[in-house]
Amino acid sequence: MTHALLVIDVQNDFCPGGALAVPGGDEIVAPINAMMEDFDAVILTQDWHPADHSSFASRHDDKNPFDMKDMHYGPQVLWPDHCVQGTEGANFHPDLNTHADLVIRKGFREGIDSYSAFFENDQTTPTGLEGYLRTRGITKLTLVGLATDFCVHFSAVDAARLGFEVTVRMDACRAIDLDESLAAAETAMRDAGVTLS
């Protein structure tokens, strides 16, 4: 059984001082680096938005960051501008070991956000990660990164739905916890068959 570590969005904008800082986001970098050698493959995901991304609150005159908006693919949280392609905020945290087998960039289409490492938020447009894992013979995934209640959560649920054996290392994740979103995410992950450790 080939086992991969999936490192979700450990980027400057999600760490303290960033545009969408997750509390304690930088605290997980050293633990993630330390566990990388224990896996057969390491895959990094990177939020990679165009400057005019539709999930940015700044693109909607009547909306503020963290408001909700109905998009053509369903409800969407509107975010502060973050992880804009080519900016320092979009770069991986400088202390993160980026010697990975694969980097998956997501959220790069202007009209749709992408929390999951597997699908955009329409739940049908694939990122290509599933095909890569199948080709490599990877059946088991451990997820770490930012943020527990959004991109880690959706990636873990999709991975389980696709038939992978999935564990989320909660000690190497941090959450935004927007309106109790962490508790909801933990329930959804457990219900999908994800192991939270």
- Is 151 annotated as catalytic? yes
Using CA of residue 149, residue 26, residue 29, residue 14, what is the dihedral sign? positive
In the set 13, 83, 113, 151, the catalytic residue is 151
Cβ atoms of residues 29 and 145 within 8 Å: no
Cβ atoms of residues 29 and 11 within 8 Å: no
Q: What is the DSSP string of 121-133?
A: TTS-SB-SHHHHH
In the set 15, 106, 149, 173, the catalytic residue is 106
- Is 106 annotated as catalytic? yes
Count Cβ atoms within 10 A of the Cβ of residue 85 and give its class: 0-12 exposed, 13-18 middle, 19 or more buried. Answer: middle
Peptide bond into 172 cis (omega under 30): no
Active site residues: 9, 106, 151
